[in-house]
A and B are shown apart, each in its own frame.
Chain A
Amino acid sequence: MTDIQSYLKAYDGQPLRLMEVCGTHTAQISRCGITGMLSPAIRMISGPGCPVCVTVTAYIDRLVALSMEPENVVATFGDMLRVPGGSQSLNDAKAAGGHVRMVYSPLDTLKLAADDPARTYIFAAVGFETTAPVYAMLLEEAVSNGISNVKILTSLKTMPPVIDWICKNQGGVDGFLAPGHVSVITGSRIFEPLSEKYGIPFAVAGFEGPQILAAIYALVRKSGKAGVMNLYPGAVTEEGNRTAQKMVDKYFTPCDAAWRGMGSIPDSGLLLREDYARFDAGSAGLNDDRGANARCRCAQVLTGAISPNECPLFGSACTPQTPQGACMVSMEGSCYNYFTNMRKR
């Protein structure tokens, strides 16, 4: 490890921009102080791997509207409460009389629904390949227990299409720290076509500081060449978790999905299959993405086009207390992490 650290600190080759796609990687890189351990020639940039951050405002607006209907209760994770929609967050809706419940697990929604049959409980099902199986389990439980007053509003996305979008539209990425949690489900092989297509390396990484450093080292050594390196073999296989994949296939089907700041990307989302449409709270067509503050540049941050502190609102109008965009809300958000750790690069 000392050799790797010395190499990364002393590296003076071609400047490299490496993207950590996953929000948990972003948080860990900040938490371990990793950017300060790298040569100035190696720059880490955050990608679109925080599920809250890539959610468009139309989705939040729909949740807000649902919460204001007396027969509904919107159930959600804590960080979703503060994400600004077009004009309101779920917290604002709650203060205005909306029915919003924070839960710690999607499955908690089932109990709430079973205990209160007069109302419909709508879970805000946000996430990537990692969380989609959990929502499939929720539906499986609802079906097998005959709970009919639970629904989900989906904003489910898949990783390979958005990485493709970044390479095609943004470019300038010399390697990807591939998302570890996503890879547990999908398997590492899923990144091979992209690696070949753009001739850049992918390293699947775990979440400990040394694992991240090892992955960065692998990417630097392999820069300019294609290849998927699995540096998280304890948790990630080439094929992924077949059982979880089958569960997701049973309930969801690919669809076009809108990503914050990137617009609609073909086949980059998951929607409930026709057979289970009765559980859908209106997820299709939520594409509008007009934030309350037009100067918010989350979109460019999410695609690595700018660093969070290059946004004119960063640290002034936009702080974790007064977030203007989703990236400043989530603990995995790039802006939140740069702000709370005073990261400069």
Chain B
Amino acid sequence: MKITMAHGSGGKATAELIEDIFEKSFHNPVLAKMEDSAVVPGAEKIAVTTDSFVVTPLFFPGGDIGRLSVCGTVNDLLMSGAKPRYLTCGFILEEGADTEELKKIAASMAETAAEAGISIVAGDTKVVEGKGGVYINTAGVGFVPPDVSLSASSCEEGDVILLSGNLGDHHAAILSERMNIRNTIQSDCAPLNEMVNALLESGVKVKAMRDVTRGGLGTVLNEFAGASACCMELEETAIPVSAQVRGFCEILGLDPLYMGNEGKMTAVVAAGDAQKALACMKESRYGENAAIIGKVVSGEPGTVLLRTPIGGTRIVTVLYGEGLPRIC
């Protein structure tokens, strides 16, 4: 069945769509009440975030828009030290969208939400004219334990920078699909609860964490260096990138430092805790390729430097433009 404008009317067709797909996929006691808003137990420090997902194609190697829409918001909550609890989802469906695909997307969201320990407690559906596209907005709520305080402005000289795994897998997987390039690159799309919990519960002094999404590692570390008025130095050879993604980047003139990821995080920790933090990451799900990639050094505040394999040094700035393939 295809989505029609009637599915966005608020009438019978809308109710059936919600019952058949969304309620069935996301079923939980809060959502089942179907009130105008979900009433949930609270806490003193609440983390709230929202994100919209407009990716094409809807299904790609290693994930789909549904898994992405949960992971993106869950990871944003995790990076502020919160325990993710509740998720809302708003669907904007274009006329002609396929309900079978929608079922798969909802099932994928439900599965990912279960993995991330978050309940989908409220939602909304709108239908617009178009060509069968699906767009999802998710908002997340999490609770921050009283003793957790993370901030991009907390980095200081001597701290060590870690990365949880290979850069660029998601970006390369999506581009490969769009460009019809055959390879085995899979998106890294994943919720990072286990890794963050392990880090925070291990006693490691974590100064700042950030998931490495659009804009890539280069942009994230510039945000840290700017907020903390510090200088960061990276070792290019220490930054993990798979051989396939490296080759893909070389062909297209892309830089892994600016590739988007959906299941990678970077953390800045106190120097004495670096090895312990690395062990936590490596032992966690999705962290097997974690590495120490650099440190906070004395130098021009707000700057990120990269030592290249041939012994040169260059400044890494934020991403400018869109990270598109070059033309020759």
List, in ascending order, chain B residues with CB within 8 A of A144's CB. Answer: none
Compute how far the CA of A27 lies from the CA of B324 in the bound complex, rounded to whole angstroms.
14
Compute how far the CA of A30 lies from the CA of B311 in the bound complex, rounded to whole angstroms.
13
Q: Are B327 and A127 in contact (CB under 8 A)?
A: yes
List, in ascending order, chain B residues with CB within 8 A of A210's CB. Answer: 310
How distant is A81 from chain B, measured CB to nearest CB, in Å?
9
Q: Are B253 and A32 in contact (CB under 8 A)?
A: no
**Any B CB within 8 A of the CB of A232:** no
In this complex, what residue of A is CB-closest to B306?
A: A33
A320/B321 contact (C-beta < 8 A), A79-B327, A131-B328 known: yes
**Any B CB within 8 A of the CB of A341:** yes
Q: Are B327 and A51 in contact (CB under 8 A)?
A: yes
**Any A CB within 8 A of the CB of B255:** yes
A126/B327 contact (C-beta < 8 A), A33-B306, A37-B311, A104-B178 known: yes
**Any B CB within 8 A of the CB of A209:** yes
**Any B CB within 8 A of the CB of A191:** no
Compute how far the CA of A339 lies from the CA of B138 in the bound complex, rounded to whole angstroms.
36
Q: Are A78 and B324 in contact (CB under 8 A)?
A: yes
**Any A CB within 8 A of the CB of B314:** yes
How distant is B237 from chain A, measured CB to nearest CB, in Å?
12
Q: Are A33 and B312 in contact (CB under 8 A)?
A: yes
Q: Are A33 and B179 in contact (CB under 8 A)?
A: no
Q: Are A209 and B309 in contact (CB under 8 A)?
A: yes
Compute how far the CA of A342 lies from the CA of B312 in the bound complex, rounded to whole angstroms.
14
Interface of B is mostly: loop
Q: Among the listed B309, B312, B322, B327, which residue makes an inter-chain contact with A36, where contact means beta carbons less than 8 Å apart?
A: B312
Q: Are A209 and B312 in contact (CB under 8 A)?
A: yes
Q: Are B325 and A78 in contact (CB under 8 A)?
A: yes
Q: Are B253 and A332 in contact (CB under 8 A)?
A: yes
Q: Among the listed A320, A321, A331, which residue makes an inter-chain contact with B253, where contact means beta carbons less than 8 Å apart?
A: A331
Compute how far the CA of A81 lies from the CA of B310 in the bound complex, rounded to whole angstroms.
34
In this complex, what residue of B is CB-closest to A331?
A: B326
List, in ascending order, chain A residues with CB within 8 A of B6's CB. Answer: none
Q: Are B322 and A128 in contact (CB under 8 A)?
A: no
A104/B328 contact (C-beta < 8 A), A31-B308, A33-B308, A341-B317 known: no
List, in ascending order, chain A residues with CB within 8 A of B311's CB. Answer: 5, 37
Q: Among the listed A1, A82, A104, A331, which residue makes an inter-chain contact with B179, where contact means beta carbons less than 8 Å apart?
A: A104
List, in ascending order, chain B residues with CB within 8 A of A78's CB. Answer: 322, 324-325
**Any B CB within 8 A of the CB of A24:** yes
* Interface mask (B146-179 → A, CB under 8 Å = 1, otherwise 0): 0000000000000000000000000000010011
A-B contact count (CB 8 A): 92
How distant is A281 from chain B, measured CB to nearest CB, in Å?
18
* Interface mask (B299-312 → A, CB under 8 Å = 1, otherwise 0): 00000001111111
Compute how far the CA of A78 lies from the CA of B254 in the bound complex, rounded to whole angstroms.
13
**Any B CB within 8 A of the CB of A87:** no
Q: Among the listed A31, A79, A213, which residue makes an inter-chain contact with B314, where contact means beta carbons less than 8 Å apart?
A: A31
Q: Among the listed A1, A52, A82, A320, which residue makes an inter-chain contact with B327, where contact means beta carbons less than 8 Å apart?
A: A52
List, in ascending order, chain A residues with CB within 8 A of B325's CB. Answer: 77-78, 104
Q: Are B312 and A37 in contact (CB under 8 A)?
A: yes
**Any A CB within 8 A of the CB of B315:** yes
Q: Are B310 and A32 in contact (CB under 8 A)?
A: yes
List, in ascending order, chain A residues with CB within 8 A of B308's CB. Answer: 31-33, 209
List, in ascending order, chain B residues with CB within 8 A of A331's CB. Answer: 253, 321, 324, 326
List, in ascending order, chain A residues with CB within 8 A of B324's CB. Answer: 77-79, 102, 331
List, in ascending order, chain A residues with CB within 8 A of B255's CB. Answer: 31
Compute how far the CA of A51 lies from the CA of B312 in the bound complex, rounded to whole angstroms.
27
List, in ascending order, chain B residues with CB within 8 A of A109's CB. Answer: none
In this complex, what residue of A is CB-closest to B313?
A: A33
Residues 233 to 292 of chain B near chain A (Cβ within 8 Å): 253, 255
Residues 185 to 231 of chain A near chain B (Cβ within 8 Å): 209-210, 213
Q: Are B312 and A32 in contact (CB under 8 A)?
A: yes
Residues 62 to 84 of chain A near chain B (Cβ within 8 Å): 77-80, 82
Q: Are B328 and A340 in contact (CB under 8 A)?
A: no
Residues 276 to 323 of chain A near chain B (Cβ within 8 Å): 319-321
List, in ascending order, chain A residues with CB within 8 A of B314's CB. Answer: 30-33, 36, 341
List, in ascending order, chain A residues with CB within 8 A of B175's CB. Answer: 104
How distant is A336 from chain B, measured CB to nearest CB, in Å?
7
List, in ascending order, chain B residues with CB within 8 A of A36's CB. Answer: 312-314
**Any B CB within 8 A of the CB of A105:** yes
Known contacts A37-B312, A332-B326; can you find 4 more A-B pairs with CB under 8 A?
A23-B326, A33-B307, A77-B324, A320-B321
